[in-house]
């Protein structure tokens, strides 16, 4: 994504700060998300990852600073607000209804109604929703047994893939993903990583919050490390190393290592 740097960011956080009582969860955090680019957000527990994510997806509002899109400054008061500027979120719990079918989960809250008089009775067109779900899944090379099976019958990897596909379907600018590989085995994690790459290739900005450093470093274009609510490291993937990322996470300074050796 060499061209990414020249474009305006699809979403930028400018000097964001957030405190909960006396606890300063975020301080002076600025970051930019570009379309087609995968940004990995790392940080130890309590580093501010989830607070930052919540500010970006509309669940929380920052105390200081602001968010900016190419259209100007925005305030996100809800997940719906974030969706209206083109950003969707894949939550760690996936937010899928297990008893509903794949297509119903895909369209829950945005159902397609029948095109004839039946629409006045709020009758849905499952055929149309199935068609569009199928297309969306194929677009990302996701293979499910059928779009009409219940989500409870899918494997963990398939559920994750479905959640990503749903986020991609309703997003026009970018996707935030919270620990997309945390619940998965090795093979499923690799499949989900391929999926993350193909969503980015479709021109969406992707931010992945993860503890799965090795795997996500393989697919990310840029790395941001949070520590104590501040950005401890931000580098292009080619300019950094796993060692540097982990050091930044735990606050392990170069000088300390020199002293040790």
Partner 1 sequence: MNEATQTVETAPAPSNPPANALAIHPLRRILNSTATWVFGIDIILMLVFGVISPDGAFLTSQSFQALGLDAAEALLLATGIALLLGAGEIDLSLGSNLLLSSVVGAKLIVSFGAGSTGTATILGVLVCLAVGATVGVVNGLIVTRLRVASLIATLATLGIASGIANIVAGGSDITGLPQVLQTDFGIKTELGIPLPAFVAFAVWLITILLFKSTRYGMRLLALGSNRGAAQRSGLRVDLHLVLLFGLVGTFAGLAGFIDLTRFATTNLAGHTNDGLAAITAAVIGGTSLFGGRVSLAGVLSGTMLAVILQDGLIVIGLSPFYQLIAIGVVLVAAVSLDQHRRPGGLRSRLLR
For binding to partner 1 (CB under 8 A), which residues are involved? 79-80, 91, 93-100, 104-105, 108-111, 113, 118, 121-124, 145-146, 148-150, 152-157, 182-185, 188
End-to-end CA distance of the chain: 38
**The dihedral formed by the CA atoms of 108, 141, 11 and 14, expressed in degrees to the nearest 10:** 100
| CA 138, chain centre distance (Å) | 20
Other C-beta atoms within 10 Å of 69: how many?
18
Q: How far is the CB of 109 from partner 1 (least distance, A)?
A: 4
Q: How far is the CB of 107 from partner 1 (least distance, A)?
A: 8
Q: How far is the CB of 184 from partner 1 (least distance, A)?
A: 6
Q: How far is the CB of 105 from partner 1 (least distance, A)?
A: 8
Which of residues 5 and 97 has its CB atom nearest to partner 1 in the complex?
A: 97
> How far is 86 from 42, CA to CA, in rounded Å?
23
Give the residues across from 88 on adjacent strands. Answer: 175
Kindly give the pairing relationship between strand 72-74 and strand 64-69: antiparallel
> How far is 228 from 17, CA to CA, in rounded Å?
12
Which of residues 124 and 233 has its CB atom nearest to partner 1 in the complex?
A: 124
**The dihedral formed by the CA atoms of 97, 128, 154 and 100, expressed in degrees to the nearest 10:** 30
**Cα-atom radius of gyration of the chain, to the nearest Å?**
20
Other C-beta atoms within 10 Å of 93: how many?
10
Q: How far is the CB of 211 from partner 1 (least distance, A)?
A: 12
Q: How far is the CB of 205 from partner 1 (least distance, A)?
A: 21
Asked if 105 and 148 touch (Cβ cutoff 8 Å), the reply is: no
Q: How far is the CB of 180 from partner 1 (least distance, A)?
A: 13
> How far is 114 from 132, CA to CA, in rounded Å?
14
């Amino acid at each position: 994504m060499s061209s990414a740097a020249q474009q305006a960011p699809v979403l930028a956080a400018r000097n964001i700060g957030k405190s909960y009582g006396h606890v300063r969860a975020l301080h002076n955090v600025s970051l930019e998300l570009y379309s087609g680019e995968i940004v990995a957000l790392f940080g130890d527990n309590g580093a501010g990852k989830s607070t930052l994510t919540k500010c970006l997806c509309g669940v929380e509002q920052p105390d200081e600073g602001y968010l900016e899109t190419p259209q100007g400054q925005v305030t996100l008061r809800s997940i719906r607000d974030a969706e209206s500027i083109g950003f969707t979120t894949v939550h760690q719990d996936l937010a899928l209804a297990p008893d509903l079918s794949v297509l119903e989960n895909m369209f829950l809250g945005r159902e397609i109604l029948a095109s004839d008089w039946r629409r006045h009775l709020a009758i849905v067109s499952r055929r149309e929703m199935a068609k569009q779900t199928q297309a969306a899944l194929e677009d990302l090379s996701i293979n499910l047994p059928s779009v009409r099976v219940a989500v409870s019958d899918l494997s963990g990897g398939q559920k994750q893939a479905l959640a990503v596909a749903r986020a991609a379907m309703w997003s026009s600018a970018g996707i935030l993903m919270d620990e997309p590989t945390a619940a998965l085995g090795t093979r499923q994690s690799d499949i989900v990583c391929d999926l993350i790459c193909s969503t980015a290739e479709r021109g969406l900005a992707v931010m992945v919050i993860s503890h799965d450093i090795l795997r996500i470093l393989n697919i990310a274009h840029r790395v941001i490390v949070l520590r104590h609510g501040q950005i401890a490291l931000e580098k292009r993937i080619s300019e950094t190393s796993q060692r540097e990322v982990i050091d930044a996470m735990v606050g392990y300074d170069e000088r300390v290592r020199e002293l040790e050796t």
